[in-house]
Amino acid sequence: MDKIGIREAIKKLALLKTEAMYLNDFLLTWDKSRDEIEATFAVAEILKGLRKANISSRAFDSGLAISLFRDNSTRTRFSFASASNLLGLTIQDLDEGKSQIAHGETVRETANMVSFMADVIGIRDDMYIGKGNTYMRQVAQSVQEGYDAGILEQRPTLVNLQCDIDHPTQSMSDAMHIINHFGGVERLKGKKIAMSWAYSPSYGKPLSVPQGIVGLMTRFGMEVVLAHPKGYEIMPEVEEVAQKNAADSGGSFSKTNNMAEAFQDADVVYPKSWAPFAAMEKRTDLYGQGDMDGIKALEKELLTQNAEFKDWECTEELMQSSKDGRALYMHCLPADITGVSCEQGEVQASVFDRYRDPLYKEASYKPYVVAAMILLAKFPNPAEKLMQMLERDRPRVF
């Protein structure tokens, strides 16, 4: 996208209704209108264009971006850091181990105490069902109250960097990848995407990726198929969201317990392991009760259950059955690759290798998606602001 293209994209962005995103958070894609979703893609593409044209999109001369990771992370951590840096914000990690949170602070208190000069708070909290998203909403409410009471001079916006329900920065990046692959969001209509469970020797992987995918891809009129063995159901609420989305967008949402059926004629396949929702709920309860023996027993049970479905693997044969034998293979990474990262995993090595560059490209959208979410929440008129950046023409690299 050259400067003329950027200008055109900004003009299109100006036509979208994004007022409700201002001073708001990004927690679930299905909380956002279709205009808001498209605006997020548009801003991400514009920021990408600006950076390629060596035009700085620094919007803040000072300001903190707080990151709170309650689970390990490489790509999301670096995406959040990259996005914040791109806009001029400085990461300050809230490391709960080094803080006084253990000393009896409430969420409300901590949220305010760290936010006096914070413009953004990014949180990953995906370990326990019913907890992560709830925690994010508590933080959002706390800073809203602080802002309303005049304690905070600005309202930090919350970005969900993965919770128990959704992984919006992932699913939005995935969507940008598909859009670019097929040449426009309008071309997604009628395309079949298979979000399929796949075997992994580990257990307890979050549900937020499959949930995020079926919750988002159903917005674009796609034929979304969710495939998994019996017992690996996702949250029923998210299935309802997907059903409703599909009805609204003129697409479909269906389920199957047959991986081959899902792959048949698929335009896009997303084979990935996850843990059964019911088991994750049970684990959360066991943690709550401090029942470590119960957890160990559950882990053993789950690994045994997993092992029954080793044939849920994305093989060359399965790929052959997809549309013209060349569906777009997707993954949030890291993948469990048979014979590479584990003995038997989610995908055959030759399939993975063939899609390596597209997979990395898929991941490359995330920093821009995060930056777009921030920018849309911090500026009442994002198109005007981006046009000013384009005209300011300040070089990113001197």
Residue 258 is a binding residue for a copy of itself (CB under 8 A): no
Smallest gap from residue 215 Cβ to a copy of itself (A):
23
**CB-count exposure of residue 327 (10 Å: 0-12, 13-18, 19+):** buried
* Amino acid at the residue 148: D
Distance (Å, whole) CA 342 – CA 203: 13
Q: Which is nearer to a copy of itself, 3 or 394 (CB)?
A: 394
Q: Mark 52-78 as b/e (b = at least 16 C-beta within 10 Å).
A: ebebbbebbeebbbbbbbbeebebbbe
Q: In the β-sheet with 328-329, what is the strand arrangement from edge to edge?
A: 252-256, 223-227, 192-197, 268-272, 328-329
Per-position x/- string for 34-73, each x denoting binding to a copy of itself as judged by CB under 8 A, each - no binding = -----------------xx---xxxxxxxxx----x--xx
Q: Which stretch binds a copy of itself (CB under 8 A): 13-21, 251-259, 322-330, 331-339?
A: 331-339
* Amino acid at the residue 344: Q
Smallest gap from residue 257 Cβ to a copy of itself (A):
27
Long-range CB pairs of 10-13, under 8 A, 24+ apart, other chains included: 10/46, 10/383, 10/386, 10/387, 10/390, 11/383, 12/42, 13/39, 13/42, 13/43, 13/46, 13/382, 13/383, 13/386
Name residues contacting a copy of itself, limited to 332-361 (CB under 8 A): 333-334, 336-337, 340-342, 357, 360-361
Q: Which is nearer to a copy of itself, 30 or 329 (CB)?
A: 329
Q: Site for a copy of itself (CB under 8 A): which residue of 198, 224, 363, 377? A: 363
**What are the Cα distances from residue 36, in Å, to 91, 143, 198, 372, 380?**
26, 23, 32, 11, 13
Q: By the 8 A CB rule, do 109 and 122 touch?
A: no
Smallest gap from residue 33 Cβ to a copy of itself (A):
25
The footprint of a copy of itself on this chain (CB under 8 A) covers a number of residues equal to 77
Q: Which stretch binds a copy of itself (CB under 8 A): 28-36, 74-82, 190-198, 230-238?
A: 74-82
Smallest gap from residue 31 Cβ to a copy of itself (A):
25
Q: Which stretch binds a copy of itself (CB under 8 A): 85-93, 178-186, 231-239, 241-249?
A: 85-93
**Element containing residue 92 per DSSP (H, E):** strand 90-93
Q: Which stretch binds a copy of itself (CB under 8 A): 24-32, 231-239, 275-283, 389-397?
A: 389-397
Q: Which is nearer to a copy of itself, 12 or 356 (CB)?
A: 356
Cβ neighbours of residue 290 closer than 8 Å, sequence gap 6 or more: none
Q: Site for a copy of itself (CB under 8 A): which residue of 1, 7, 31, 88? A: 88
Name residues contacting a copy of itself, limited to 102-121 (CB under 8 A): 102-106, 109-110, 112-114, 116-119
